[in-house]
Amino acid sequence: MVSGAPDYSLAGRHALVCGASQGIGKATAIALAAQGADVTLLARSRDALRQLAQALPRIGEQQTHAWIDADVGDLTTLRDKVQATVNARAATILVHNSGGPPGGAAHSATIENFEAAFRQHLLAGQVLVQCLLPGMRRAHEGRIINVISTSVKEPIRGLGVSNTIRAAVASWAKTLAGELGEFGITVNNVLPGFTDTARLEQIIAARAAASGETQAQVAQALRATVPAGRFAGAHEIAAAIAFLASPAAAYINGINLPVDGGRTGSL
């Protein structure tokens, strides 16, 4: 049997994109909308979300976009607002994305640092999945895509809390992939490398302050570790997420996908 061309269309599907006001989240919202999805944006910045929802691509008259202003660290409010949204219309695509924890060594981090990161990343992800899962199961289709870090393969110096929490999220996602596959739901992780976002700017500034080097010197040293010789654009990470969200990726489940220009040394 000769199969047809790969199906990348998201027309008629509803996607919830977290951390959507900037960076990778914003680029992902644009990419999914360009493939036809109705996108609900989630972040804390109400004004930025409103402006982005109005500016997102619309490739059909029926395509609509919306937004939720919520702090993923406030689990009760997050659950209430997301549940209200999916009660009105189920979402079968979840992009679980959030800003990384502050930098610093693991041994000097406080218990509060770890608790806040655990809540913002893993517990918020659990809340989101539990809100969206009934609709995914009814549709017998779902895409859960976690945006985490290459640190789940190789810890990154100076990001002790992030390394720890990202690894927990990766293991949680792999467990979900085994539990939910029979319902047509895939769970995958995208691992961005050094990406030209505000997060990378913060990392570069922190390393420059600690080392006495200029930010330009730190940035050049980081680029030198990447075989591609440059940082990623947020749209390049978004392209990988959009593929995993598409029907074409229906048999890809439980993977960690580095999008890092070849920087990660491990397989």
CB atoms within 10 A of CB 131: 23
d(CA 96, CA 24): 11
What does the domain layout of the chain look like in residue ranges?
Answer: 14-193+233-258, 194-231
Over the chain (267 residues), the average pLDDT of each successive run of 10 is 81 98 97 98 96 95 96 97 98 96 94 97 98 98 97 93 97 98 98 94 92 96 97 98 98 98 93
Question: CA geometry: angle at 10 spanning 72 and 128, to 5°?
Answer: 20
Domain 14-193+233-258 architecture? 3-Layer(aba) Sandwich (3.40)
Please report the sign of the dihedral spanned by the C-alpha atoms of residue 171, residue 176, residue 182, residue 188: negative
> Token pair 């982005």 is at which residue?
52
Question: Pairing between strand 142-147 and 93-96?
Answer: parallel
- Cα separation, 132 vs 130, whole angstroms: 6
Report the pLDDT value the prediction gives residue 154, as an integer from 0 to 100: 94
Q: Compute the distance between CA of residue 145 and CA of residue 128 in angstroms, rounded to an integer.
A: 12
Sorted by sequence, the CB contacts under 8 Å of residue 34 that are 6+ apart come out as: 57, 59
CA-to-CA dists, residue 17 to 33, 41, 43, 211, 261, angstroms: 11, 5, 9, 36, 24
User: Which pLDDT belongs to residue 237?
Assistant: 98
pLDDT value of position 4: 79
Of 7, 28, 126, 123, nearest in space to 73 by CA: 123
CA distance 213 to 145: 36
Could you tell me the pTM of the whole model?
Answer: 0.95
H-assigned helices in the chain: 23-34, 46-55, 75-88, 111-118, 124-139, 160-180, 198-211, 215-224, 234-245
Which residues are CB-contacts of 71 (< 8 A; sequence separation ≥ 6)?
44, 77, 78
Query: If you search the block for the tokens 């990778």, which residue do you land on?
Result: 24
The DSSP output letter for 43 is E
